């Protein structure tokens, strides 16, 4: 029934939602254990290894937070437009373009002092993603191309721009086998905390999540955006500038993904590389989708998916399983979430 679904979305307390997803994950883990058994591996050992390498040590935990940083940002990049009924599958490309523009800033002004260079490059990171996402936004607002297709296709373009740059103008001297940009100056490295690799990008991601929630739930702009998502025809008839919001929402979303890219180059790699992201943008899409766009859900899901993707690395090393097996686990979770949702349609 449409009404009860609406009610569920609005009223379900956060805790219940978290518990429900936890239960789903438990079932998924049990099923995945069966898969591992069939593959002749010891699931208990696999889970124990994963646990040891992630949750049981301070180092493991810190690495999880490092991994969560881009996931949170790319999830918000999807969640925000989704509240207007827009489907942004271009987080990956937006992340790349954020990294690219931030790098451009750093390489152009390497001598700037840190207090100026960091915010400047962060801003460029945001802009890179925002402008990249604004392209599908404009196309959609002009009713030319569906934003799902445009954002998806631009994912294939962005890495090419990176390739061009690091094979060409930005190529570091002496890195002939492995093209990459020169290392960033000290002033362009994001501050890290507690002697770990956790960098300022993590705080930025938390702020982004909070900003997303405040924007949607507490501001008058949020009312307009949710109205567009809830009933575009009524929104237009009531004078809400739908086309403008479509562009703006996609751009802000893309900006967050761009910040993720900025965080990776300036917080983790310290330079621009081709292998910037093992699909953070796509995982972010999954996170936002699984969490139904709820901020706390995103936090929880990002944590969970950080563990799962780390498990891929662990299993590769300890059990000799290909990294891709985690995709089975991700698919199982997705499947269970889908199965739990009431079928659409019905009598009304």
Partner 1 sequence: MNPVVPLLEVRAITKRYGAVTANEGVDLSLRGGEVHALLGENGAGKSTLSKVIYGFTRPDSGELFLEGQPVVFPSPREARAAGIGMVFQNFMLIPALSVAENIALFLADLPPVFRLKAVGRQIREFGERFGLVVDPSATVRQLAVGDLQKVEILKLLLGRARVLIFDEPTKVLAPHEATALFQVFAALKAEGYAILFITHKLREVLACADRITVMRQGRVQGGFGPGEATVEALVSMMFGEQDLAGRPDPEAPTSPPPSSRPTLELRGASSPGTGSETALKGLDLSIRAGEIVGVAGVSGSGQKELGDLILGLRPLSAGSKWFCGVDASHWSIARMREGGVAFVPEDPLVMAAVPGMSVRENLVLGTGRRYWMDVRIDWRRLEAAMGQSFRALAFPVPRLDPPMGALSGGTLQRVVIAREMAHAPTLVVALYPTRGLDVRSTTSVRDLLRRARDGGSGILLISEDLEELAEMSDRLLVLYGGALVGDFPRGQWQVEEVGHLMTGSKETVHG
Say how many C-beta atoms besides its own lie within 10 A of residue 228's C-beta. 23
Residue of the chain from 24, 99, 107, 227 that contacts partner 1 (CB under 8 A): 227
Residues forming a β-bridge with 192: 199
Cα-based angle 166, 170, 173 (whole degrees, multiple of 5): 95
* Interaction of residue 85 with partner 1, rule CB under 8 A: no
Q: Contacts with partner 1: how many residues (CB under 8 A)?
A: 27
Residue 338: how many other CB atoms lie within 10 Å: 9
With binding defined as CB under 8 A, does residue 340 bind partner 1?
no
Residue listed under structure tokens 């379900």: 12
Q: Which stretch binds partner 1 (CB under 8 A): 163-171, 215-223, 307-315, 324-332?
A: 215-223
Spatial CA neighbour of 343 closest among 1, 92, 51? 1
Compare residues 338 and 348 and give the one whose CB is closer to partner 1.
348
The nearest distance, CB 155 to partner 1, in angstroms, is 30
Nearer to partner 1, 344 or 348 (CB): 348
Out of 58, 238, 317, 331, the only residue in the binding site for partner 1 (CB under 8 A) is 238
Q: Does the protein bind partner 1 through residue 80 (CB under 8 A)? A: no
Q: Does 240 help bind partner 1 (rule: CB under 8 A)? A: yes
Interface region with partner 1, contact rule CB under 8 A, candidates 7-15, 151-159, 183-191, 249-257: 7-15
343 binds partner 1 (CB under 8 A): no
Backbone angles phi, psi at 292, to 5 degrees: 60, 25
Name the burial class of residue 142, with classes exposed (0-12), middle (13-18) and buried (19+) by CB atoms within 10 angstroms of its CB. Answer: exposed
Q: Which two tokens stand for residue 58?
A: 């301070």
Q: How far is the CB of 223 from partner 1 (least distance, A)?
A: 6
In contact, 154 and 95? CB cutoff 8 Å: no
- For residue 79, state whether it binds partner 1 (rule: CB under 8 A): no
Contact track, partner 1, 15-44, x by CB under 8 A: ------------------------------
Of 55 and 238, which CB lies nearer to partner 1 in the complex structure?
238
138 vs 147: CA distance, rounded Å:
9
* Nearer to partner 1 (CB atom), residue 108 or residue 238: 238
Which residue carries 């945001």 as its tokens?
A: 126
Q: How near is the Cβ of 233 to partner 1 at its closest, in Å?
A: 6
Q: Does 231 bind partner 1 (CB under 8 A)?
A: yes
Which residues are CB-neighbours of 32 under 8 A, at least 6 positions away? Answer: 43, 328, 329, 332
Kindly state the smallest distance separating residue 10's Cβ from partner 1, in Å. 7
Alpha carbon distance 225, 247 (integer Å): 11
Question: Which one of the spans 85-93, 147-155, 232-240, 300-308 is the region binding partner 1 (CB under 8 A)?
Answer: 232-240
Q: Does 218 sit near partner 1 (CB under 8 A)?
A: yes
Q: Distance (Å, rounded) from C-alpha 193 to C-alpha 62?
A: 10
Q: How far is the CB of 122 from partner 1 (least distance, A)?
A: 22
- In sequence order, which residues have a C-beta less than 8 Å from that of residue 279 and are 6 or more positions away? 92
Torsion of CA 53, 57, 63, 67, to 10 degrees: 70
For residues 30 and 214, which CB has a smaller minimum distance to partner 1 in the complex?
A: 214
Q: Are the CB atoms for 207 and 70 separated by under 8 Å? A: no
237 binds partner 1 (CB under 8 A): yes
Closest among 346, 209, 223, 203 to 263, alpha carbons compared: 203
- Closest to partner 1 by CB, 111 or 347: 347
Binding site residues, partner 1, CB under 8 A: 1-3, 6-7, 9-10, 218-221, 223, 226-227, 230-231, 233-241, 347-348
């Amino acid at each position: 029934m449409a009404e009860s679904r609406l009610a569920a979305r609005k009223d379900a307390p956060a805790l219940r939602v978290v518990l429900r997803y936890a239960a789903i994950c438990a079932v998924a883990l049990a099923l995945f254990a069966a898969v591992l058994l069939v593959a002749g591996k010891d699931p208990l050992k696999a889970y124990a290894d994963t646990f040891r390498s992630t949750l049981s040590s301070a180092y493991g935990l810190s690495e999880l937070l490092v991994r969560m940083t881009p996931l949170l940002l790319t999830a918000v990049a999807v969640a925000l437009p989704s509240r207007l009924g827009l489907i942004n599958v271009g987080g990956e490309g937006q992340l790349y373009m954020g990294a690219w523009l931030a790098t451009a800033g750093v390489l152009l002004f390497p001598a700037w002092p840190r207090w100026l260079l960091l915010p400047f490059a962060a801003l460029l990171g945001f802009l890179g993603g925002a402008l990249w996402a604004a392209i599908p936004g404009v196309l959609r607002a002009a009713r030319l191309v569906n934003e799902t297709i445009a954002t998806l296709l631009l994912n294939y373009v962005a890495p090419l721009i990176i390739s061009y740059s690091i094979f060409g103008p930005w190529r570091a001297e002496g890195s002939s086998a492995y093209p990459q940009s020169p290392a960033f100056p000290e002033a362009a490295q994001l501050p890290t905390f507690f002697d770990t690799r956790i960098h300022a990008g993590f705080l930025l991601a938390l702020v982004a999540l909070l900003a997303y929630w405040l924007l949607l739930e507490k501001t008058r702009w949020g009312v307009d955006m949710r109205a567009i998502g809830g009933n575009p025809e009524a929104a237009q008839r009531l004078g809400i500038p739908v086309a403008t919001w479509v562009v703006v929402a996609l751009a802000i979303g893309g900006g967050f993904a761009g910040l993720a890219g900025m965080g990776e180059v300036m917080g983790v790699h310290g330079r621009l590389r081709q292998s910037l992201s093992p699909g953070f943008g796509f995982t972010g899409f999954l996170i936002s989708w699984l969490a139904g766009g709820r901020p706390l859900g995103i936090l929880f899901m990002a944590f969970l998916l950080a563990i799962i993707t780390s498990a891929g690395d662990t299993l590769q090393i300890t059990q000799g399983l290909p990294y891709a097996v985690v995709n089975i686990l991700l698919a199982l979770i997705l499947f269970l979430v889908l199965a739990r949702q009431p079928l659409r349609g019905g009598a009304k």
